[in-house]
Amino acid sequence: MTNLSVNVNKIATLRNARGGNVPCVETVATDCERFGADGITVHPRPDERHIRRSDVFALRPLVRTEFNIEGYPSDDFLELVLLAKPTQVTLVPDAPDALTSSAGWDVAPNLEFLTGVVDRLHEAGIRVSIFVGTDLDNIRQAARTGTDRVELYTGPYAEQFAADPQRAIAPYVAAAEVAHQVGLGLNAGHDLSLDNLPYFHQHIPHLSEVSIGHQLIADALYMGLEATIKAYKNALNNG
């Protein structure tokens, strides 16, 4: 069973464009759960251009499924997540001004830093996932930090999928096998869609969770939020 975590950053982006509280991030998040989502993901950034610190604390008591907070482990970010205590923290290597997460950690040169962060989060009872690419040695290095899971950056898969699905999926299958061999749980996310998700899920073993935001919210503009979440759940159940 692979869980679907819905990233609600784009809801906050739309709200912030106009001011006020429409659409309401809390309402959308609880509706996502009501419609079948297995978790809610947020990625607060230093400039608060979408999810704000206040959103994190507003969502924390409302989310009944898994609450996943993504971000670069700066002092401010760690202070936030240690106060909020989500189910999972996903560590990404983004610069403060990054538009979106577009690469995983190069773990070896950051091993000591990441190990210290993982230890702090574990002391607070928070599960940790490290955002990585498909390099096999890098995944082995991630296991040395003590992290519980890795999240595979699926941007390259999405880019290559239409032209050559078999070639696109091959490095992810190998990465999933190595992650399992070294005792890591497996998440995935970035540019997964109704087109490419079933094939990905069908071929990737040991997949615990996918986190999807931009494409899911875009689909919901045409299909409606409830129908969209059900479609993504169906892609996971039947893929």
Which residues are tagged catalytic?
43, 70, 190
Angle value at C-alpha 53, between 132 and 218, nearest 5 degrees:
60
Q: Which single residue is written with the structure tokens 């940790």?
A: 128
Q: Which among 229, 176, 222 has a CA at the least distance from the CA of 28?
A: 229
- In this structure, the number of other CB atoms found within 10 A of the CB of residue 96 comes to 9
Under 8 Å CB-to-CB from 149, ≥6 apart: which residues? 88, 127, 128, 129, 130, 184, 185, 186, 187, 208
Q: 29 with 226: CB under 8 angstroms?
A: no
Angle, to 10 degrees, between the axis of helix 136-144 and the axis of helix 165-181? 30
**3-state DSSP assignment of residue 88:** strand
Q: 10 with 37: CB under 8 angstroms?
A: no
